[in-house]
Amino acid sequence: MKRLLVTGGLGFIGSYFVDLALKRGYRVVNVDKVTYAARRDLDFERRPGYEFIRADICELTHLPVGVEYIVNFAAESHVDNSIRANQDFFHSNVRGVYNLLELVRAKDETDQPVFVQISTDEVYGTVREGSSKETDRLNPSNPYSATKAAADQLVRGWANTYGLRTIIVRSCNNYGYGQYPEKLLAKTIEFFLEGRKMTIHGDGSYRREWLYAGDNVEAILLLIQKGTVGEIYNVSSNEEHSVLEAARMVAAAMGRDPDESFDFIPNRPGQDLRYSTDCSKIRALGWRPTRTLADYLPEYVELYRRKLGL
């Protein structure tokens, strides 16, 4: 069975990926620094084929033997944090990727794993009309997306110069149970369960595509099986809602009056107006999202109620 090195596998999307990979019979070595964002409710340690290394990807000095793929989820991931204090973003999102690429390069060519970099649609910046293609110019707008774009460029540079085998996956905004409640939908559910109003940056009109994390990790695993090394793949749902529309859907799913549920605060600097990606490349491999936000929300709210013992 293939052995995968997953980084950031205790984080939101990484944990969905580790779960899926173990279910499909892969062996997984999970390297995670266990930051504030790491999940504490997982049972991976009890599952066969799982190993855990608590480490910072910047400080790893060698790669485990016999690993065929590295799937790099490890990152600082919250835009607001990156605006307040960007050092950790440069550290994990840029230096961390540099270190991993160098560790791959240090291995004998016959033993080098494929490096799968988990990137984001935010690297393209605002797309007012149409959708970004994988070949489009990167145009990041905030420290988070700038560090992710820098990482993508490192991956391309190391592939072109040193012949590393790489795949870059750029996915849109993910949602699902287990997301740290700094992100919009998790925070909105938590605030509403506490009887509070949710705060919205600006007028909430900026548009995002919303993708269930379980669908995203199916796409990533498919790329490990069928993706072409050297390529970049967008992964998106084409389900587009403004931030306010998505938050109002949560209010409606929780039986609240959406007109009485929000306070509006000054917008973030560097706020992108719209992200949209063309994901025909991954769809040509047979991948489709299986969930929509509207159909997942009741389940999401129920899982959250149980988590909080309500």
Q: Give the Cα separation of 78 and 122 in Å (integer).
A: 12
How many residues bind ligand NAD, per CB under 6 A? 31
Closest to ligand NAD by CB, 180 or 202: 180
57 binds ligand NAD, rule: CB under 6 A? yes
Q: Which of 70, 57, 55 minimizes the C-alpha distance to 17?
A: 70
d(CA 136, CA 134): 6
80 tagged catalytic: no
Which residue matches tokens 């936000």?
293
Neighbours of 3 (CB within 10 A): 17
Q: Show the binding pattern over residues 72-111: x = contacts ligand NAD (CB under 6 A), - = does not.
A: -xxxxx--------------x---x---------------
Which of 10-18, 186-194, 243-251, 254-262 is the region at the interface with ligand NAD (rule: CB under 6 A)? 10-18
20 binds ligand NAD (CB under 6 A): no
Q: For the chain, how big is the Rg over CA atoms in Å?
A: 19
- Asked if residue 132 binds ligand NAD (CB under 6 A), the reply is no
Spell out the alpha helix ranges (H) of the chain. 12-23, 79-84, 87-89, 96-106, 143-162, 184-193, 213-226, 243-253, 280-283, 293-307
Asked if 7 touches ligand NAD (CB under 6 A), the answer is: yes
User: Which one from 19, 32, 76, 122 is the annotated catalytic residue?
Assistant: 122
Q: Is 294 in the site for ligand NAD (CB under 6 A)?
A: no
Binding of residue 63 to ligand NAD (CB under 6 A)? no
The Cα-based distances of 52 to 7, 20, 55, 59, 253 in angstroms read 10, 16, 9, 16, 37
Active site residue 122: yes
Interface residues with ligand NAD (CB under 6 A) are 7-8, 10-14, 31-35, 37-38, 56-58, 73-77, 92, 96, 118, 120, 148, 171, 173-174, 180
